[in-house]
Amino acid sequence: MVTRGFSSGRHPPTDNDARIPPGQYLEQGFPVLSAGPTPRLRTEDWSFTLKHGPRPIKKWNWTEFNALPLTRMTRDIHCVTAWTKFDTAWQGVLVDDILADAGIAPPTAFTLALSFDGYTTNVPAKDLLDGRAMVALLYEGKPITPDHGGPARLLVPHLYFWKSAKWLNGLQFTERDEPGFWELRGYHIYGDPWREQRYTGDP
């Protein structure tokens, strides 16, 4: 439905258009979104636990985790609130490298990302593998600020950004695809920006 009196501010089309998923707009800043207060976490108190169901497989402290191979990833990110940000530059540990350090292959097809503040979000295991996702430790070369999920956050750039859980402290393999915090509150179970999977029931 054409809106009376509304005209596109984007003439002529640019090369950028192909990088912006439907319904998104280009954001130059970096908005902060979260369901609660920003946790202030000290790296000396930080840990990351890999779990299969309730059972811990391996746990790393900050020093041990930072000794894992670091990978750079520069990606466009897409928030369900309709902003897209180009070329965000991260460094962190690929989920592949975490699994390798734990000496396991994914035991199930599904995961829940777990955060210090109780936040959770579900991601199929295959979406975390083959270099598609990392536990990010640096943004633009600097430690990630608390508002943006520091000391460590998940980065799954090909899904809406609520999947890239802030203040990450674990990754849990689950037998079934278990909805996380926002998925239980009306957001899509998978969240592909290119298919506009924003809310429950979107195709």
Question: Which is closer to another protein, CB of 7 or CB of 55?
Answer: 7
141 binds another protein per the rule CB under 8 A: no
Q: 78, 58, 77, 79: which is closest to 68 by C-alpha? A: 58
Measured from the CB of residue 200, what is the shortest distance to another protein in angstroms? 5
Q: How far is the C-alpha of 145 from the C-alpha of 167, rounded, in Å?
A: 10
Q: Is 16 among the residues that bind another protein (CB under 8 A)?
A: no
Select from 39, 106, 107, 124 the one that contacts another protein (CB under 8 A): 39
72 touching another protein, by CB under 8 A: no
Task: Quote the CA–CA distance of 120 and 130 in Å, as a whole number.
Answer: 22
Choosing from 14, 35, 102, 195, the residue that interacts with another protein (CB under 8 A) is 35
- Contacts with another protein by CB under 8 A: the residue count is 42
Q: What is the DSSP secondary-structure string of 30-58? A: -----SSPPP---GGG-EEEEEETTEEEE
Contact code string over 79-98 relative to another protein, x by CB under 8 A: --xx----------------
Does 11 sit near another protein (CB under 8 A)?
yes
Binding of another protein by 186 (CB under 8 A): yes
- Amino acid, single-letter form, for residue 64: E
Residue 198 CA to residue 103 CA, distance in Å, equals: 35
Q: Where are the beta strands (DSSP E) in the chain?
A: 25-26, 47-52, 55-61, 71-78, 83-94, 110-115, 120-124, 134-139, 142-143, 153-155, 168-174
- Contact flag: residue 9 with another protein (CB under 8 A): yes
Please report, as residue ranges, which positions from 98 to 137 form the binding site for another protein (by CB under 8 A): 117-118
54 binds another protein, rule: CB under 8 A = no
Tokens of 186: 């009306």
* Contact yes or no for 172/51 (Cβ under 8 A): yes
Nearer to another protein, 11 or 55 (CB): 11
Given the rule CB under 8 A, which residues bind another protein?
1-11, 22-23, 25, 27, 29-39, 81-82, 117-118, 147, 181-182, 184-186, 188, 198-202
